[in-house]
């Protein structure tokens, strides 16, 4: 027992501090991806409702592709593909040397475009849930289209979209484990390395599982609070939540 505790302890002998650093990388890549993915998703959702045929087709194509291709494959295509393309561009411009894409950036882009595809569906559902009268009333008050979106539509959008976006976040959190295959030093990567060094796979993958579980449980709790807050104007006395 003492042996296992030593392995998980902080300090040069144990892997505790490394695992903690990995957990930080996991949560930072998830948090870094979130705003980018959600914003792109909202843009795609708006494009899906656009009057222009080109925009609509592009948006539909985008969501179909990134929702249908395994995340692991998307990650590989972006990590290797962008590297090759950038390298060619690099050489074409006449610069010498190599172009290296950081795994963090590749992971962020890959997870972000997938998140955008999934969150676009959530945004779209929420956009459709907002009555036309809201926009008409805003127009009647003399608000521009952008003002109407920012001041009238968006605040209501968040409330409707929150449960779906919460699901998106949970999926994203778990998907970050994939970036370990492109050598980003997240929880999963550290656990794999610890396993190689100590030959204690059950201990370290178990520890990794508990780290992810911890983040998931915290997120569930956080989103429950957020939803409660977003719905505070709607809750009725004696309602179930």
The residues that touch other proteins, with contacts defined as CB under 8 A, are 64-65, 67-74, 76-77, 80-81, 84, 170, 174-178, 180-181, 188, 191-192, 195, 199-202, 205-206, 208-209, 212-213, 216-217
At residue 13, φ and ψ (nearest 5 deg) are -80, -40
* Minimum distance from residue 77 beta carbon to other proteins (Å): 5
Contact 86/99 with Cβ under 8 angstroms?
yes
CB of 98 or CB of 144, closer to other proteins = 98
CB of 89 or CB of 151, closer to other proteins = 89
* Minimum distance from residue 31 beta carbon to other proteins (Å): 17
Q: For residue 143, how far is the Cα from the chain centroid?
A: 33
* Minimum distance from residue 210 beta carbon to other proteins (Å): 8
* Alpha-carbon distances of 70 from 56, 76, 113, 149, 218, rounded to whole Å: 23, 10, 12, 34, 27
Q: For residue 189, how far is the Cα from the chain centroid?
A: 19
* Minimum distance from residue 116 beta carbon to other proteins (Å): 16
CB of 157 or CB of 178, closer to other proteins = 178
Query: Whole-angstrom Cα distance, residue 237 to residue 149?
Result: 31
* Minimum distance from residue 100 beta carbon to other proteins (Å): 17
Q: Helix or strand or coil: residue 100? A: coil
CB of 159 or CB of 187, closer to other proteins = 187
CB of 47 or CB of 207, closer to other proteins = 207
Q: Could you give the count of Cα atoms lying within 13 Å of 162 in the half-sphere of its Cβ?
A: 18
């Amino acid at each position: 027992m003492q042996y296992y505790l030593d392995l998980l302890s902080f300090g040069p002998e144990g892997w505790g501090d490394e695992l903690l650093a990995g957990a930080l990388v996991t949560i930072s890549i998830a948090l870094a991806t979130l705003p980018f993915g959600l914003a792109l998703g909202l843009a795609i959702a708006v494009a899906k409702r656009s009057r222009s045929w080109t925009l609509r087709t592009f948006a539909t194509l985008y969501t179909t592709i990134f929702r249908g291709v395994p995340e692991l494959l998307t990650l590989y295509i972006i990590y290797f593909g962008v590297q090759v393309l950038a390298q060619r561009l690099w050489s074409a411009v006449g610069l010498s040397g190599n172009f290296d894409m950081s795994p963090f950036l590749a992971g962020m882009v890959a997870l972000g475009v997938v998140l955008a595809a999934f969150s676009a569906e959530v945004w779209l559902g929420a956009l459709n849930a907002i009555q036309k009268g809201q926009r008409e009333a805003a127009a009647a008050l003399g608000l521009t289209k952008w003002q109407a979106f920012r001041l009238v539509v968006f605040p209501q959008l968040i409330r409707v979209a929150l449960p779906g976006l919460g699901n998106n976040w949970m999926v994203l959190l778990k998907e970050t484990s994939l970036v370990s295959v492109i050598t980003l030093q997240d929880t999963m990567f550290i656990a794999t390395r610890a396993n190689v060094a100590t030959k204690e796979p059950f201990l370290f993958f178990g520890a990794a599982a508990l780290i992810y579980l911890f983040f998931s449980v915290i997120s569930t709790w956080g989103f429950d609070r957020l939803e409660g807050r977003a719905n505070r104007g709607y809750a009725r006395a004696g309602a179930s939540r």
